[in-house]
Structure 1
Amino acid sequence: MSNPIFKVVKSGLLTTIQDNGRSGYQQYGIVVAGAMDPFSMNIANFLVGNPGNEAVLEVTVMGPTIDVVGDAVIAISGGDLSPKVNGEKAPMWKSFEVKEGDRLEFGQPVEGARSYVSVAGGFDIPLVMGSKSTYLRAGIGGLDGRALEKGDVLNGTGGVNGISGRALHPEEVPTYKKEMDIRVVMGPHLNAFSDAAVQTFLSSTYEVTPKSDRMGFRVKGPKIEHETSADIISEAIPLGGIQVPANGEPIILMADRQTTGGYTRIGTVISRDIPYLAQAMPGCKIRFCEVNVEEAQEIYEDNDRFIRTLGKVSNPRQ
C-alpha cells in the first residue's frame, strides 16, 4: 500500500523521476531516457537498500523545495547542489532518516549539475514499458510524463524499512571537475573525416554550451571538417555517440537521444565516463582521449563488477 512521502513546495529548474530507462524499444522509435548519471542513481539506491534500478528523483542545477509528509530513509548522491534539511547541511553519499514535517531543499551548485534522491522502497510510480523514467518530449513515464510541479505529492511503496547511516567509502566518491578528460572509442564514420580533422578532435579543448540538455551536449571549439558529406543514411545511435553535423561542431548524445540519426559520428564516449559528462555544467572544458575497444571493455567490466558487488552487499536478495 502506497503512502505519501514528499510534497513539492517549489519545483526547481528540472526535477524528474528516472530509473535505468526503457531498453528494448528503440526499434519502435521509443527513446530510452533514464538517469543521466546512472552511477549516482545506482549508489543512491544501494545506500537505502533498494535495487540499483529503482526510480529516483533527478535534480538538475537548481533543486526543488520538498516537504516531508511521511517518515522515510533517503540518500542524495551525484552533484553537490547544497542539499539541506531544515536549514542544516544534509549528508551526501550517505543514507539518513527524514521525518514528517522536515523540509528538504537545495541551494547553489557546488560541484556537478545533477543530484539523485532515493527513498527506501522506491516511489509508487506506474511502469510504462517496464520503466518509471520520465521522457518529457513524449509526455510518458514519471509523474504524468512531466517534470515535478508545485503541489505534487509523491508516494512511496510503503512497508519497507530503509537502512540509515550507510555511506559510500570516501575514496569511491567521484569528483566533478570543471575540466575533464573524456575517453572515447573512435568511429564508426572515420572515413568521412581527414586525418587532420581526427587530430583536431583529439588534441583540442571543447566547452560545453548552454544549449546542452538531456538529449545531447553541444560543445564549441575548433571545427571538425568533413572530407566527405556530414550526412549518412539514418542508423541507430548509441548513448555517448558523438555526431558531427555540417557545421563541424560536435554533439554528444545523452539519455534522451533520438533512436536514429543521419549525421556522421566520429566516436563514442565510453559508458564509464557518461556519469562524469552528465555532471558537466555549461562552461565546463572537456578533452577527448582515445581508447581502443579492448580497453573500453576492460573499464566497463571493472565498473560493472564494482556496481554488482555493492548491489549484493546492499540487497542480498538480488
Structure 2
Amino acid sequence: MITILETPPLNTVQDLGRPGYRNLGVGSSGVMDPLALEVGNILLGNARGDACIELQTYPFSIRFDATTSFAITGIDAEITLDGMKILPWSVETAGAGQVLRVGPPTWGARGYVCVAGGIDVPGVLGSRSTQLRGAFGGLDGRPLEAGDTLATGATTRHLSGYGALPPTVAVGDEYDEGEPRTVNLRAIPATDYALFTPDSQQRFWHTPWRITPQSNRVGYRLAGESLRLHHAVELRSYGIVPGIVQVPPAGEPIVQLADANTAGGYPRIATVIEADLWRLAQARIGTRIRFHECTHQQGVAAMQPVAAYLDDLRMMVAHYQKSARCRSGAKAGEKA
C-alpha cells in the first residue's frame, strides 16, 4: 500500500492501455510513454502490463506503507527517498514509512512511478488505465489527490542496486542535426497526403513545429506556418490511432496521442511511427519537433533497436536476480 502525500493535477494510474474497444467508441488510453513503463516493469520483474503512476505535473510525493521495491523511469529529475538522492531508471527498495519525492524534470515531461507487483486497482475493459474523459478506470476514473491510497500487487521481491540505460542513450536519436531543443520524429505520409499542396508537403517535413500550451494526453497542437489543401474537402469519419497527424481548417497540425478520439474527419498528412512515440511523449510544451519522412518498411524496422534494448535489459535483470538469489542462499547456508 502507498499513500499519496502531494500531487498537482493530472497525475493518474495507467498501464499499457485497453485496445480492442475503438469500435465501441472507447479509446485505448494507457501511458504516453509505453517504453518507459516497459523498462520499469522489466527492472522490477513485473508482468509487462502492470500498472504504474504516470506523472505529468510536479512535485509529487508518496509514502510507502510497507517494504516496496520501485523504479522511476521516463525522466531525469531530483528524486529523493527520505531526503537521500536516488537515481532514475534504477531499482531501489523503500521501507515502511519512507517518503519518495519526485521533483520537476530536468529532461523529459512524463515520469513513471513503477512498483514491484504493479499498482493494483480494479480493471475496466481489461485495463487499469485511467480514462479521464469517460471517468472510468484507474482510481475512480479521476486524477490522483493527496490522501489517496493505492494497493500494490503481491510480491516478495525486494531488490535494489541495479538499473537501465535510458532509451535516449541505449536507442539513441537517429537524426542528430545539432538542434538539442528539437525532437526529431520519423513519420509516414498518410492517406490524405496528396490532398495537400506541394509547398505544404515540403513545409511539413522541412520546418520545425512548436508544441503549444493547447496540448494534452489527447493530442499535441503544433504552431507554425499553416498547411494548405489543393481545395476544400469533406471526408468520411475514420478510425484514429496515436501518432496520426491531422490538419484542421486553420492549417496547424494536431498529433493524436494516448487519449485520442476514436474517430475523426480532418485530413491526415502523416503518421508518427510507433518506434518514436515515446520521444513525442517526453517532449514538453514549447518544444520544437521536426518530422522526417520514412517508408512503412523503415518504420517497422525502427522497432528492432527498441526490441533489442528491451531483450538485453531482460537478460541483465534475470542475471542480476539469479546472482542475488545465489548470494542470499549462500548466506543462509553459512548461518545454518
TM-score range for the pair, normalised by the shorter chain length: over 0.9
- AA aligned to 2:259 is D
Match of 1:234 among 234, 237, 245: 237
2:49 matched residue in structure 1: 53
1:202 paired with 2:205, answer yes
Q: How far is 1:127 from its partner?
A: 1.0
- AA aligned to 2:25 is G
Match of 1:245 among 236, 245, 248: 248
Report Cα offsets for 1:162-210 as digits up to 9, x if no partner. 4322311364276895311111001110122111110010111110111
* 1:26-41 mapped onto 2 (5 Å cutoff): 26-41=22-37
Report Cα offsets for 1:138-184 as digits up to 9, x if no partner. 01111111111111011112233143223113642768953111110
What is the aligned residue count? 312
Tell me: CA distance 1:127–1:281, structure 2 relative to 1, closer, same or farther (3 Å). Answer: same
1:267 paired with 2:270, answer yes
1:13 matched residue in structure 2: 9
Q: How far is 1:289 from its partner?
A: 0.5
Match of 2:87 among 80, 84, 91: 91
Tell me: CA distance 1:129–1:174, structure 2 relative to 1, closer, same or farther (3 Å). Answer: farther
Largest Rg, 1 or 2: 2
1:277 matched residue in structure 2: 280
| Structure 2 runs not aligned, ≥5 long | 174-178, 320-336
Report Cα offsets for 1:45-77 as digits up to 9, x if no partner. 111111222101101131422112111000011
2:313 matched residue in structure 1: 310
Give me the whole-angstrom Cα distance separating, in 2, the residues matched to 1:47 and 1:243.
36
Tell me: CA distance 1:128–1:309, structure 2 relative to 1, closer, same or farther (3 Å). Answer: farther
- AA aligned to 1:76 is I
Give me the whole-angstrom Cα distance separating, in 2, the residues matched to 1:254 and 1:177.
23
Cα RMSD over matched residues?
Answer: 2.0
1:255 matched residue in structure 2: 258
Match of 2:99 among 78, 92, 103: 103
1:43 paired with 2:39, answer yes
Give me the whole-angstrom Cα distance separating, in 1, the residues matched to 2:54 and 2:180.
20
Q: How far is 1:300 from its partner?
A: 1.9
- AA aligned to 1:196 is D
Larger helix proportion, structure 1 or 2?
2
TM-score, normalised with respect to structure 1: 0.93
Whether the aligned pair in 2 keeps the contact of 1:187 and 1:267 (CA below 8 Å) is yes
Give me the whole-angstrom Cα distance separating, in 2, the residues matched to 1:107 and 1:310.
26
Give me the whole-angstrom Cα distance separating, in 2, the residues matched to 1:215 and 1:178.
23
- AA aligned to 2:170 is E
Match of 2:170 among 160, 172, 197: 172
Whether the aligned pair in 2 keeps the contact of 1:17 and 1:132 (CA below 8 Å) is yes
- AA aligned to 1:160 is T
Q: How far is 1:14 from its partner?
A: 2.2
Q: For structure 1, which segment, 208-217 or 77-86, has the greater mean C-alpha deviation from structure 2 after superposition?
A: 77-86
1:151 matched residue in structure 2: 147
Whether the aligned pair in 2 keeps the contact of 1:47 and 1:314 (CA below 8 Å) is yes
Q: Structure 1 stretches (4+) deviating beyond 6 angstroms?
A: 173-176
Give me the whole-angstrom Cα distance separating, in 2, the residues matched to 1:126 and 1:63.
26
| Structure 1 runs not aligned, ≥5 long | none
1:142 matched residue in structure 2: 138
Whether the aligned pair in 2 keeps the contact of 1:178 and 1:280 (CA below 8 Å) is no
Whether the aligned pair in 1 keeps the contact of 2:17 and 2:28 (CA below 8 Å) is yes
Whether the aligned pair in 2 keeps the contact of 1:230 and 1:244 (CA below 8 Å) is no
Match of 1:211 among 209, 214, 219: 214
Give me the whole-angstrom Cα distance separating, in 2, the residues matched to 1:57 and 1:174.
25
1:125 matched residue in structure 2: 121
2:111 matched residue in structure 1: 115
Q: For structure 1, which segment, 266-275 or 300-309, has the greater mean C-alpha deviation from structure 2 after superposition?
A: 300-309
